Amino acid sequence: MSRILLISSNTTTEPMPVYPLGMALIASSLKQGGHAVEQLDLLLNFKNIPSSVTCSIAQFDPDFIGISIRNIDTEDSLAPENTWYLADIKHLVEHIRKICQKPIILGGPAFSIMPEQILEYLNADFGIVGEGEISLNKLIYDISNKIKTKKILYPAQTPIDQKEFFSPFYEKKLVDYYFDQSGMLNYQTKRGCPHGCNYCSYPLIEGKKFRHQTPEFVVDNLIRLKEKFHVDTLFFTDSVFNDRQDRYLKIAEQMIKRKCNIRWAAYFRPENIKQDELKLLKDSGLYAMEVGSDAACDVSLKGINKSFAFEDIFTFNESCIKAKIFCAHFFMFGGPKETKMTVIEGLKNIERLKKCAVFVFSGIRILPRTGLHKIAVEEGIISSNNDLLKPCYYISPLVDKNWMDIKIKEAFHKKKDRVFPMEEGLMRMRALKIFGFKGLLWDRLINHKKNT
Ligand code: B12
C-alpha cells in the first residue's frame, strides 16, 4: 500500500471552473488498488498555492505525487498573452522538489498531447499518456518493487472498456465548490473518438475507438451524484456525445426510465438527428448542445477533414430550434484551404443559423502528432523542430489574418449571440456571473423572439 497525493493543477475559471474529473477517476482507481489517496485541488487554494502544497505534503506524507494537467493554453490566437498555464505548473514542481524527494508523476489531457515536451519542461520523474486508472496502479507497483520502468507510459493495447470503468471519487468539498461556482458538475460516459478531424487531439488522448460505459452504470453514477450531493445539472464531457451506434440514446432512455431528473448538456456533432430523437434527449433532461460545427463552408470543412457539409449544420440547427434545445456552434476560421472567398461564404452561412449562439476562433492551435501539424510543416508555417509547447496557430497561407479578423468582427457587430473574439464573450459572461447567473451562460445570449 502506498500513499499518493494527487494534485489538480488547473486554476482556470473561464469559461467556467470545471470539476477535476480526471483526478477523481484516478483517485477512485488507486483506492480500489488498496492505496491511500489525498486529492488537492489548487483552484480551491488559489490564493496560497505554495503553502497549501507544503501543508498537504507535511500532513499526508505521500510516497508519490501525481499531478493532473488539464490545459496548456486557451487555444485562442486572440487571447491575452498571459494564458499559458505550464509556467505556473513548473513553479509547482520546483516547489514540491524543494520540500519532498518523492517521485512526481504527470498525467491529464494536456500532458497526453505533448508528453515528452512537458515531462522535460517540468522536470518531473514519470508521466502517463491517456487514461491513467490501470497504468498508474501498475507504475506505482513497479516503482515500489524496483522493477525497471520507462519514464513515459503510453496507452495500453487493451484500454478500459464496458464493465471495467471506474466511478469517479467525487469529494464533497470540491462538489460543493464547483456546483456553487459553475452551476454544474461533469461526467464522462464513453472514451475515444473515431472521427478523423485533422487538427484534433482527442484520438491521441482517448484513442480512436468509442468505448462505452453501459447505460445502467452511467445512470447509477448520476443518481449517486444527485442523492449524495444534490447535483441536478451536468455536462457530459464525451468528445462527441452522439455516436453513430445510437448508444447515447440508450443513456437518455435509461435516464428517463430511472427518473433521473437531471438537466444536462454535451458536445454534439452536427449530423443527421431525427426530431423524435431530439424529443427523447430533451425528455431525458438535455437543455443545451455545444455543437462542433468547426468550419463554416464546405471547402473549409474539407480542409479540416470533416465528413459533413454546411447544409448538415444548418439542418441540425433547424431541428434543434424545432425541438427548443439551445445550441452554440463553434467555428474556426483560417484553417487549411481557407481563402478570402471561403471567409465571405462562411460568414454568409453563419447568418443563416438562427436562434443560436456562435463562437468563432481565428486560426487553429497546432498540436503535435495531428494531421494539421504535418500540413503546417509541409507548408512552412512552422519548422519541424518546433516543440509546440508555446501556442502556434495555423493560418491558411491563402488568407490574410488581419483582413479575416476584421471581416468577422464586422459581420458580428452588435449581435449579442455572435461572439468574436472569445475575450469579448468572456467579458459578457463575467458580467452575467456578477449578476449571479451560473451555467453555460451562452444560452443567455440567445434572443428567442428575434429571428437571428
Ligand atoms: C469536456 C471538455 C471541456 C468542457 C468542460 C465541461 C465540464 N463542465 O467539465 C468545456 C467546454 C467547459 C471546456 C473548456 C475548456 N477547455 Co476543454 N475539453 C474538454 C474535453 C473534451 C474533455 C475533458 C474531460 O473532462 N475528460 C474526461 C476526464 C475523465 O478525462 P481526463 O481529464 O483526460 O483524465 C484522464 C486522463 O487524462 C488521465 N489523468 C488525468 N489526470 C491525471 C493525473 C495523473 C497523475 C495521471 C497519471 C493520469 C491522469 O486519467 C484520467 C482518467 O482516465 C477535453 C478533450 C479530451 N478529449 O480530453 C478538452 C480539453 C481538455 N480542453 C481544452 C481547452 C483548451 C479548454 C479551454 C481552455 C478552452 C477555452 N478557450 O475556453 C477551456 C478551459 C476550461 C477550464 N476551466 O479548465 C484542451 C486542453 C489542451 C490545451 N491545448 O490546453 C483539450 C484537451 C481539448 C483540445 N483542444 O485538445 N472543455
- What confidence tens digit (pLDDT) does each residue in 26-46 have? 999 999 999 999 999 999 999
- Look at residue 100 and tell me if it is in a domain: yes
- Look at residue 25 and tell me if it is in a domain: yes
| Side chain identity, residue 402 | N
**Banded pLDDT at 144 (limits 50, 70, 90):** very high
Provide the grid cell at 33: 488498488
Q: Which atom of ligand 1 is nearest to the CA of 168?
A: 29
Residue 255 belongs to a domain with what CATH number?
A: 3.80.30.20
- Look at residue 401 and tell me if it is in a domain: yes
- The residue contributing the CA closest to ligand 1 atom 14 is 15
| Side chain identity, residue 175 | V
Task: Give the domain-ending residue among 137, 153, 169.
Answer: 153
Residue 9 belongs to a domain with what CATH number?
A: 3.40.50.280
Q: Which atom of ligand 1 is nearest to the CA of 237?
A: 1
Rounded to the nearest integer, the mean pLDDT of the chain is 96
Pocket test for ligand 1, best of 9, 11, 18, 150 (most atoms within 8 A of CB): 18
> Cα 92 vs. chain centroid, distance in angstroms?
23
- The residue contributing the CA closest to ligand 1 atom 62 is 71
CA–centroid distance, 429 to ligand 1, in Å, is 20
- The residue contributing the CA closest to ligand 1 atom 31 is 22
Give the number of domains in the chain: 2
- Look at residue 174 and tell me if it is in a domain: no
- The answer, yes or no, to whether any atom of ligand 1 lies below 6 A from the CB of 207, is no
Which pLDDT score is estimated for 448? Answer: 65
Q: Which atom of ligand 1 is nearest to the CA of 267?
A: 1
Pick from 368, 9, 71: nearest CA to 204: 368
Task: Give the domain-ending residue among 153, 172, 197.
Answer: 153
Pick from 96, 156, 167: nearest CA to 128: 156
pLDDT tens profile 326-363: 999 999 999 999 999 999 999 999 999 999 999 999 99
Provide the grid cell at 301: 470543412
Q: Do 193 and 97 fall within a single domain?
A: no
Q: Which atom of ligand 1 is nearest to the CA of 22?
A: 34
CA–centroid distance, 202 to ligand 1, in Å, is 10
- 393 φ, ψ to 5°? -115, 140
| Side chain identity, residue 56 | S
Q: Do 196 and 131 fall within a single domain?
A: no
Q: Do 408 and 333 fall within a single domain?
A: yes
pLDDT tens profile 87-118: 999 999 999 999 999 999 999 999 999 999 99
Q: Do 364 and 223 fall within a single domain?
A: yes
Q: Do 232 and 316 fall within a single domain?
A: yes
CA–centroid distance, 71 to ligand 1, in Å, is 7
pLDDT tens profile 162-207: 889 999 999 999 999 999 999 999 999 999 999 999 999 999 999 9
Q: Do 198 and 266 fall within a single domain?
A: yes
Q: Do 123 and 197 fall within a single domain?
A: no
CA–centroid distance, 109 to ligand 1, in Å, is 6
- The answer, yes or no, to whether any atom of ligand 1 lies below 6 A from the CB of 342, is no
pLDDT at 452 over 60: no
- Look at residue 92 and tell me if it is in a domain: yes
CA–centroid distance, 98 to ligand 1, in Å, is 29
Question: CB within 8 A of 255, min separation 6: which ones?
Answer: 219, 222, 262, 284, 285
Which pLDDT score is estimated for 158? Answer: 80
- Look at residue 291 and tell me if it is in a domain: yes
Task: Give the domain-ending residue among 97, 131, 153.
Answer: 153
Which pLDDT score is estimated for 446? Answer: 87
pLDDT tens profile 263-306: 999 999 999 999 999 999 999 999 999 999 999 999 999 999 99
How far is residue 27's CA from residue 169's CA, in Å, rounded to a whole number?
6
Q: Parallel, antiparallel, or unpaired for β 286-294 and 190-191?
A: unpaired
Q: Do 143 and 195 fall within a single domain?
A: no
pLDDT at 392 over 50: yes
Which residues constitute the domain of residue 143? 3-153
Q: Do 74 and 193 fall within a single domain?
A: no
- The answer, yes or no, to whether any atom of ligand 1 lies below 6 A from the CB of 17, is yes
How far is residue 408's CA from residue 358's CA, in Å, rounded to a whole number?
12
- Look at residue 171 and tell me if it is in a domain: no
- The answer, yes or no, to whether any atom of ligand 1 lies below 6 A from the CB of 77, is no
Q: Do 300 and 370 fall within a single domain?
A: yes
Which pLDDT score is estimated for 80? Answer: 81
How far is residue 325's CA from residue 207's CA, in Å, rounded to a whole number?
30
Which pLDDT score is estimated for 154? Answer: 95
- The residue contributing the CA closest to ligand 1 atom 56 is 202
Is this model's pTM higher than 0.85 or not? yes
Q: Do 148 and 189 fall within a single domain?
A: no
pLDDT tens profile 48-75: 999 999 999 999 999 999 999 999 999 9
Q: Do 106 and 234 fall within a single domain?
A: no
- The answer, yes or no, to whether any atom of ligand 1 lies below 6 A from the CB of 242, is no
CA–centroid distance, 10 to ligand 1, in Å, is 10
Question: For 390-413, what is the mean pLDDT?
Answer: 97
- The answer, yes or no, to whether any atom of ligand 1 lies below 6 A from the CB of 15, is yes
- Look at residue 341 and tell me if it is in a domain: yes
How far is residue 168's CA from residue 367's CA, in Å, rounded to a whole number?
28
